[in-house]
Homo-oligomer: A and B are copies of this chain.
């Protein structure tokens, strides 16, 4: 994908960061295998491991790689094709040719990777590897290291004890690099966002009373598959926006509803986009809808304006929640001291998720490495409060960070009950008034932003319409 010098420079930097962390031995990178759909030889579309792509650039199953941390020696492990492969998959360049494009001149058979890892462990040479959410990788690394699959991958939140088998140093070194995007990456992300805007435009243009959610989602997904690798995540396109990850598309676009579309496109390079817009089903917001919409839109703008190097995204999240509570107070849905409400986590009843997440080769960048290492600094502790507890990115921002800005307001009667039953509302919520919103749904507005030297900019060359009047105008066309 990129020039081989980019991969070589990344690996060199990686080795020096590993050494700075005191890591010794060998670092290994296991590329992804195929993932069976319904039986072994019928696979989902192949998706390479993102860090494998980042450091080695090779986008095929059946690859692994190693770096000796003391002398920087590298090797790529994979098998050349035989006559059967040629019949089924066509002629292929050699492994040596493929390795050459990543700036590597030593290759070995795939099975030698297993031998190398086992040999190192038998000789007390530390073997560093990354956790992976792919079962193939977990099974393979568990087998090679004599661990259980659960030990080589623990779900977040992590603590250091979970890294007995996979490597905390390697997580830290990789995270420190991938969190800061270089110019080549930013160009890809800009392009992914441009494509993501086109994908969303297809959805918006299809939003007409009587249309099927399924047809809109299908047309958007087709665009993603045609112009890139595919969708960044299963498209959320629903008139029940209060369900945060609602993947049901069985609805018909119906008068008076809000259609929430949260969707992104992943390029062939795997750099991706992730936008959310919420549209009035008929093309025009009702007064009640517009009141809530404008609060969310104002929160999106408020957060964007606050983003700058040196600011922690946790502070942006909290200040945006405060801004939201002010808006809800104006509508009479909550009452009381705003700062006390904020501290008591009242915003979480309306926005039970975090303001945003890192984005790059993964739409939730590196989430499998443990959100507490990816999205949190050494001196930040994850909260348990609903909403803030789900914040995936809390770090102090630096130029090159790519994050989403995605406030939302959702009306979830089951959550109101939960708050009331557990006394979490602390008397701040006007439940009587809330009843009128029981069928409202939810609104989320999400942009992808780059932290720059002086502040931030939206990724991509054009921004999807976001102000309520702009959205209505766009839907007239």
Contact = CB atoms under 8 A, between A and B. Distances in A.
B133 A135 contact: no
Contacts of A361: 38
A90 B139 CA distance: 32
Interface in A1-60: 35-45, 47, 49-50
B226 A36 contact: no
A411 to B, nearest CB: 12
Given A246-B90, A367-B41, A415-B86, A222 B233 contact: no
A245 interface: yes
Interface string A112-156: 000000000000000000000111101100010000110001010
B226 A214 contact: yes
Given A87-B415, A136-B135, A40 B368 contact: yes
Contact of A412 (B45, B86, B415): B86
Given A83-B418, A226-B214, A352-B87, A35 B35 contact: yes
Contacts of A415: 83, 86-87
Given A36-B135, A44-B35, A214-B226, A244 B87 contact: yes
A35 B34 CA distance: 11
B133 A139 contact: no
A44 B135 CA distance: 13
Contacts of A234: 43, 45
B414 A89 contact: no
Interface in A402-430: 412, 414-415, 418
A174 to B, nearest CB: 13
Interface in A229-264: 233-234, 240, 242-246, 248
Interface size class of A (residues with CB under 8 A): 35 or more
A297 interface: no
A277 to B, nearest CB: 20
A244 B245 CA distance: 38
A231 to B, nearest CB: 9
Contact of A39 (B219, B222, B244, B367): B367
Contacts of A83: 414-415, 418
Given A37-B47, A38-B47, A86 B414 contact: yes
Contacts of A133: 36, 38-41
Contacts of A45: 44, 234
A318 interface: no
Copies per assembly: 2
Contacts of A136: 135
A415 to B, nearest CB: 6
A89 B414 CA distance: 12
A336 interface: no
Nearest to A45: B234
A148 B143 CA distance: 9
A43 B233 CA distance: 7
A217 B225 CA distance: 9
Nearest to A53: B38
A215 to B, nearest CB: 6
Contacts of A217: 225-226
Residue among A42, A221, A361, A366 with the highest chain B CB neighbour number at 10 A? A42
B364 A91 contact: no
Nearest to A139: B149
B362 A39 contact: yes
Nearest to A38: B362
Residue among A218, A240, A352 with the highest chain B CB neighbour number at 10 A? A218
A415 B155 CA distance: 47
A477 B414 CA distance: 55
A363 interface: yes
A175 B264 CA distance: 41
Nearest to A226: B218
Contacts of A245: 88-89
A384 to B, nearest CB: 13
3 closest pairs, A vs B, by CB? A222-B222, A40-B133, A218-B226
Given A36-B368, A42-B363, 15 more contacts: A36-B133, A37-B233, A39-B362, A39-B367, A39-B368, A41-B367, A42-B233, A45-B234, A87-B243, A87-B352, A87-B412, A87-B415, A89-B243, A90-B248, A222-B222
